[in-house]
Structure 1
Amino acid sequence: MKRKTKLIHAGITGDPNTGAVSVPVYQVSTYQQEQIGVHQGYEYSRTGNPTRFALEELIKDLEEGQRGFAFGSGMAAIHAVFTLFNTGDHVLLTDDVYGGTYRIFTKVLTRLGIESTFVDTTDLEAVKQAIQPNTKAIYIETPTNPLLKVTDIRAISDIGHEHNLLVVVDNTFATPYWQNPLVLGADIVLHSATKYLGGHSDLVAGLAVVNSEKLGDELHFIQNAVGGILGPQDSWLLIRGIKTLGLRMEAIERNAQEIVKFLDQHDKVSKVYYPGLEQHPQHKLASEQAEGFGGIISFDVGSNEHAERLLSRLHYFTLAESLGAVESLISVPARMTHASIPEERRTELGITPGLVRISVGIEDVEDLIDDLRAALED
């Protein structure tokens, strides 16, 4: 199947019992059993729900994995995956991960005795040097949030497997429409499905896909034991959102390309971060590894004051956390999505007070550029 066809026809489609074209919302907690332990595949909705299962089968097929899992948020999915590890285990992570990821590793998983080191995963030698005897996994975001750095998934997977490590990839920015980490060698792929997969700012969800039945059994045990599952209504909304993912990603990318051209030439913008720019350090890798560059653009306007002035003058960009929606969103990472990262660490990474991140929507691009132009004027 081609990509857009797969979005519509992968996984479980319709309802064989009624002929309904859309998978029903099974708003149910428990299921009748014929005898003790004899049932039709479902016994309790924490363990499995038909609507959630349809979503899990869909993301499994889109990421070309073995099993998929749906959680109540992206952070719940990350937490579940790293509950696979034990006290004393060590994880390497991309240095400029999302602030919530940084927070869970430095403030929550540390309580369980799981150690972590943040490293520039675009530097393969630095990754090799950071591996310790107790390292069990490498976790990468690519492209990263918010600096849009691109890590070589295949190379990291080779390094990881050479050292018997699991390789986990946050694929939120690229989505399975543009990039498939499991195909490139990763073991687990994660999504904040709140973002592009849902696409309409109307749900919070997380997804995980694994490349083996063994990992699938282990992660299902955790999902069922801990219970951070996605409900049937949000599962249905997410299935519906995914059906238009291809159309949205293509429209968003067209808009992003034009906005990047505008920002890159503007004298009030000191730097633009976008993998589609030829001067981006990993532009060639991004071109080879993914089918598209995405709709996230970060740019620096020099100071917090300039950033606030820009925000106060915009009309079509909504100041909000999150990204990946049909409407264009804007944020200042240092004070919003990455505020949980200590200031000295943000400065070291280049997440400056004047750094602005936009999530491009599907509006008419002329309106978006005119909005930015007016807001950047003296």
Structure 2
Amino acid sequence: MTDKTDAARPLAPATVAARATGRVDPATGAVVPPIHPATTYERAADLSYPRGRVYTRADNPNYDAPEAVLTELEGGAESLVFASGVAAAVTLFQALPQGARVVAPEIMYWGLRKWLIEVGRPAGLGVAFVDMTDQQALAAALDEGADLVWVESPANPLWGITDIAAAARLAHRAGAVLAVDSTAATPILTRPIEHGADIVMHSATKYLNGHSDVLAGTLTVAPGLAGDPLWARVRQLRSMSGNIPGPFEAWLLLRGMRTLALRVERASANALAIAQHFARDPRLDAVLYPGLPDFPGHEIAQRQMTGGFGGMLSIRVAGGRDRAIDVAARLRLFARATSLGGVESLVEHRASVEGKDSPVPDDLLRISVGIEAAADLIADLDQALGKAPAGDAQ
């Protein structure tokens, strides 16, 4: 646990992240933790492991701090780091009993949706996709039974908001576990466990690391599920499959987490400024951002997101697919690249990336807003959009 100056007053999330447990290396006094590249650990003469570590596939000292920080940030009982966000999510799916059924969002991270369809279903996993913003649709899907309800909020790349508390009530009534992909929100803006979630997942590659130089994922379990056989199975599978980051990657993850609050606050402020600036722009058919008052789910986002609405938004460019791709090509400050949550701003034509079965409109550009000056980002988007297509009102 992170040190506390006053036991009666929990530290703010920004302080928890910045201090990174506040531990000082006992051997040297260093305020930055060392990197432990060892893959194996010495046994005692009686063949026991008195220091508690056996092999780095199961555990490594460099996992301890990021797991501890994330556990405190999320208000969970325990966290585990994985080799990637998909590895974390897939490990949870694989930990479910044989023949289990998962209810997942229609709009979600496409890589995981693809895994559920092309790997999960052929392996015997039942999968139903529903509109998670529609509580009646979720309730109807749960009437057929479920072991796990998977929620993503805000949901990539349309940024729809799911009422986590309502989803938790429906899932628990059906005897299912509720897991939330909170990558876009981060624990700075949303703590799903406080709203009833059992497990929280992050693609730590994104905001937790924040510098586009680490591949990692995490799962955090709520206190009520920490002793459940499902969580024990998750731990076992991580160890047996080796779905872990390297020690240096875990060290870099922790380093990135120390500036998490600052980066999220700046990216959220920038995204809101961009969304507000272009909200009525005739060159766009829509600006998709939970912070806009007329965005579906805005009121729910206000309830469950604290301090901002995140650094992710999407725009639908008037004129269709070719026009959207042309706008992306004209951008100078936004790099045309996959991923999100870094300090640099990125743009991507999602339908092209996801392929012919993508549910994403082909006029949509997904924007990951970085920590640059908002005025510069707005000016870059403005010049890239140029004049409105012929026939559009000015």
Distance in 2 (CA, whole Å) between partners of 1:59 and 1:52 is: 11
Give how far 1:133 is off: 4.5
Aligned to 2:342: 325
Give the corresponding residue for 2:368.
359
User: For residue 14 of structure 1, what is the aligned residue in structure 2?
Assistant: 24
Of 17, 22, 25, the match for 2:35: 25
Q: Is the 8 A contact 1:12 1:58 kept in 2?
A: no
Counterpart in 2 of 1:48?
59
Among candidates 78, 84, 88, match of residue 73 of structure 1 = 84
CA distance in structure 2 between the aligned counterparts of 1:22 and 1:112, rounded to whole angstroms: 44
Residues 168 and 196 of structure 2 are in contact (CA less than 8 Å); yes or no, is this contact kept in structure 1? yes
**Displacement of 1:191:** 0.4
CA distance in 1, matches of 2:30, 2:122: 47
What letter is aligned with 1:24? P
1:230 aligns with 2:266: no
State the number of aligned residues: 370
223-232 or 126-135: which moved more? 126-135
TM-score normalised according to structure 2 size: 0.91
Give the C-alpha shift of residue 201 in structure 1: 0.7
**Amino acid in the other structure paired with 1:101:** L
CA contact (8 A) 1:98 1:144 kept: yes
Q: Which moved more, 1:165-174 or 1:50-59?
A: 50-59
SS of aligned partner of 1:358: strand
- 1:16 and 1:220 map into 2 onto residues whose CA distance is 29
Confirm or deny: 8 A CA contact 2:20 2:254 kept in the other structure: no
Any idea what SS the aligned residue of 1:111 has?
Answer: coil
* Superposition map of 1:338-377 within 5 A: 338-339=354-355, 342-343=357-358, 346=359, 351-377=360-386
Match of 1:177 among 174, 188, 192: 188
For 2:82 and 2:24, locate their aligned partners in 1 and report how far apart those are by CA, in whole Å. Answer: 22
What is the rounded CA distance, in whole Å, between the counterparts of 1:135 and 1:102 in structure 2? 17
Q: Give the CA deviation at 1:53.
A: 2.1
User: How far is 1:278 from its partner?
Assistant: 0.3
The aligned counterpart of 1:296 is 312
Q: Distance in 2 between matches of 1:128 and 1:271?
A: 30
Does the 8 Å contact 2:328/2:349 carry over to 1? no
- 1:214 maps to amino acid: G
- Contact persistence 2:154–2:185 (CA under 8 A): yes
Matched, 1:214 2:230: no
The answer as to whether partners of 1:10 and 1:61 remain within 8 angstroms in 2 is: no
Conserved in 1, the CA contact under 8 Å of 2:20 and 2:66?
no
**Structure 1 length normalisation: TM-score?**
0.95
| Alignment map for 1:263-342 (pairs within 5 Å) | 263-291=278-306, 292-302=308-318, 303-336=320-353, 338-339=354-355, 342=357
Cα distance, 1:39 vs structure 2? 2.6
CA distance in 1, matches of 2:24, 2:83: 24
Number of the residue aligned with 2:5: none
Percent of aligned positions that are identical: 37
Secondary structure of the 1:183 match is helix
**Contact 1:86/1:114 (8 A) holds in 2:** no
Contact 2:104 2:149 in 1 (8 A): yes
Whether the 8 Å contact between 2:145 and 2:174 is mirrored in structure 1 is no
| CA–CA distance in structure 1, aligned partners of residues 127 and 27 of structure 2 | 49
**Distance (whole Å) between structure 2 residues aligned to residue 253 and residue 117 of structure 1:** 32
- Return the alpha-carbon distance in structure 1 between the equivalents of residues 50 and 58 of structure 2: 13
Q: Within the alignment, does 1:197 sit opposite 2:208 as a pair?
A: yes
Q: Deviations over 1:259-284 (max 9, x none)?
A: 11222122110111000000011111
**In 2: Cα distance, 1:231 partner to 1:14 partner:** 22
Match of residue 6 from structure 2: none
SS in 1 for 2:331: coil
Structure 1 residue ranges without an equivalent (≥5)? none
Q: Secondary structure at the match of 1:21?
A: coil
**SS of the residue 2:104 aligns to:** strand
SS in 2 for 1:135: coil
**Superposition misfits of 4+ residues, deviation over 4 angstroms:** none
